[in-house]
């Protein structure tokens, strides 16, 4: 016991050095009434005033809508997102990459060093070309692949075109979604129900199945689910159940593909200001007050989720799989 209570000479010297260092540092910070401040130019922002608040004007558009014609135009990080090389050399396919959260992810990925292929519906070409230009501005490959995700053959060709254009594939973001607000189930036609299922559930299945043989260990698959998976709105009967299915496939595939070194995660947004809302995704009165019920008093902007898509794709999140990351202004789940 006596031996255990003794301090070695090395421990004494180390302890003395630590004490002297602390004594030297404390006066430097505490003396002369010095106030520590953030470095020059570093600012924080009040999230309640950072982006536009409702009411918004009524602005219906035919499906799938163009965000460039919205008022206010959604912020997808075009001028704000700053990259730091976290995805250097990666190769990503993003569905719904012309607008909303897919656009925000595409811009962020390019600024983090990734080459990016985006898919979009042919009528969204105007918005898509803006994204392509932004990706190219970063010196990255930008591949535009328009087409209808409700077609199995197109989904197969989409993957093959992305692989050929990018020279490989190691990130898949299944983001495109169809959302139509219909108050009663009796008014949901079989055609509408089928379109929603094929866009939101079948397309990710077809895309992942086609891509899997080409995905190396270290790849990431990300699905866009929603707070609707946890707390469905009565007027989004079809859409909400597809988001619950998305959450489920994220967790299922994470278990299946984990041993192969492929991570699968999801992003669950709350009310985000995108073209979904003005192209049939919300009732007119809800669209005009969209996001007013959040704790921040406004809807989120796609740019506010960009860093989540980056994090889930980045190599330093290598232990995150089967996770669903929420972003809902304080009202949603998870």
pLDDT of residue 9: 40
Q: What is the mean pLDDT of residues 142-146?
A: 98
Spatial distance between the Cα atoms of 134 and 142, rounded to a whole number of angstroms = 9
- 72 lies in some domain: no
Structure tokens at 76: 């997808």
Q: What HEC string does 59-72 produce? A: CCCCCCCCHHHCCC
- 53 lies in some domain: no
Spatial distance between the Cα atoms of 46 and 44, rounded to a whole number of angstroms = 7
pLDDT of residue 209: 98
- Exposed / middle / buried, residue 54 (Cβ in 10 Å: 0-12, 13-18, 19+): middle
Separation of CA 167 from chain center:
23
| pLDDT at position 41 over 70 | no
pLDDT of residue 334: 72
* Cβ contact 279:58 at 8 Å: no
Spatial distance between the Cα atoms of 71 and 238, rounded to a whole number of angstroms = 27
Q: What HEC string does 124-168 produce? A: HHHHHHHHHHHHHHCCCCEEEEECCCCCHHHHHHHHHHHHHHHCC
- 105 lies in some domain: yes
Among 283, 196, 293, CA closest to 237? 196
Among 311, 327, 312, CA closest to 84? 311
% of the chain residues with pLDDT over 90: 86
Instruction: Output Rg (C-alpha) for the chain, integer angstroms.
Output: 24
- pTM, whole model, 2 decimals? 0.88
At 268, is the secondary structure helix, strand, or coil?
strand
Kindly name the residue from 121, 239, 309, 325 that is annotated as catalytic: 239
pLDDT of residue 16: 38
- 37 lies in some domain: no
Band of residue 333 on the pLDDT scale cut at 50, 70, 90: confident
- 186 lies in some domain: yes
Is residue 202 reached through a cis peptide bond, with omega within 30 degrees of 0 on the bond before it? no
Domain tally, the chain: 1
- 99 lies in some domain: yes
Among 65, 102, 117, CA closest to 282? 65
Band of residue 207 on the pLDDT scale cut at 50, 70, 90: very high
Q: What is the mean pLDDT of residues 144-173?
A: 98
Spell 164-199 as b/e; 16+ CB within 10 A means b.
ebbeebbbbbbbbbbbbbbeeeeeeeeeebebbbbb
- Structural element, H or E, at residue 221: strand 220-224
pLDDT of residue 38: 52
At 27, is the secondary structure helix, strand, or coil?
helix
Q: What CATH number has the domain bearing residue 313?
A: 3.40.50.720
- 7 lies in some domain: no
Q: What is the mean pLDDT of residues 80-96?
A: 98
- 285 lies in some domain: yes
Band of residue 309 on the pLDDT scale cut at 50, 70, 90: very high
| pLDDT at position 94 over 80 | yes
pLDDT of residue 31: 40
The predicted-structure confidence for 61-80, as pLDDT tens digits, reads as follows 999 999 999 999 999 999 99
Spatial distance between the Cα atoms of 30 and 212, rounded to a whole number of angstroms = 58
Find residue 94's DSSP bridge partners. 118, 173
Domain range for 109 is 85-327
Check if 239 is active-site: yes
């Amino acid at each position: 016991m006596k031996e255990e209570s003794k301090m070695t000479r090395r421990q004494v010297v180390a302890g003395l050095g630590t004490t002297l260092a602390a004594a030297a540092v404390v006066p430097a910070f505490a003396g002369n009434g010095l106030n520590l401040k953030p470095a020059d130019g570093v600012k924080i922002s009040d999230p309640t005033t950072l982006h536009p608040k409702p009411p918004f004007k009524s602005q219906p558009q035919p499906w799938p809508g163009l965000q460039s014609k919205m008022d206010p135009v959604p912020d997808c990080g075009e001028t704000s997102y700053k990259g730091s090389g976290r995805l250097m050399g990666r190769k990503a396919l993003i569905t719904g990459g012309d607008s909303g959260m897919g656009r925000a992810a595409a811009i962020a990925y390019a600024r983090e060093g990734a080459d990016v292929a985006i898919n979009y519906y042919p009528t969204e070409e105007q918005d898509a070309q803006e994204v392509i230009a932004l990706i190219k501005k970063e010196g990255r490959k930008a591949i535009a692949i328009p087409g209808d995700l409700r077609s199995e053959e197109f989904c197969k060709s989409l993957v093959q075109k992305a692989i050929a254009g990018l020279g490989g594939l190691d990130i898949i973001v299944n983001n495109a979604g169809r959302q139509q607000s219909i108050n009663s189930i009796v008014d949901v036609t079989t055609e509408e129900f089928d379109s929603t299922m094929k866009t939101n559930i079948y397309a990710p299945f077809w895309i992942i199945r086609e891509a899997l043989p080409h995905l190396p260990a270290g790849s990431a698959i990300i699905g866009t689910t929603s707070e609707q998976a946890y707390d469905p709105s009565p007027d989004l009967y079809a859409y909400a159940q597809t988001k619950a299915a998305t959450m489920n496939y994220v967790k299922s595939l994470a278990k299946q593909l984990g041993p192969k070194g492929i991570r699968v995660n999801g992003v669950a947004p709350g009310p985000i200001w995108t073209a979904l809302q003005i192209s049939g995704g919300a009732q007119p009165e809800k669209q005009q007050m969209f996001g007013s019920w959040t704790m921040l008093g406004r809807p989120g902007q796609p740019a506010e989720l960009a860093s989540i898509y980056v994090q889930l794709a980045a190599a330093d999140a290598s232990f995150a799989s089967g996770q669903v990351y929420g972003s809902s202004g304080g009202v949603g789940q998870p």
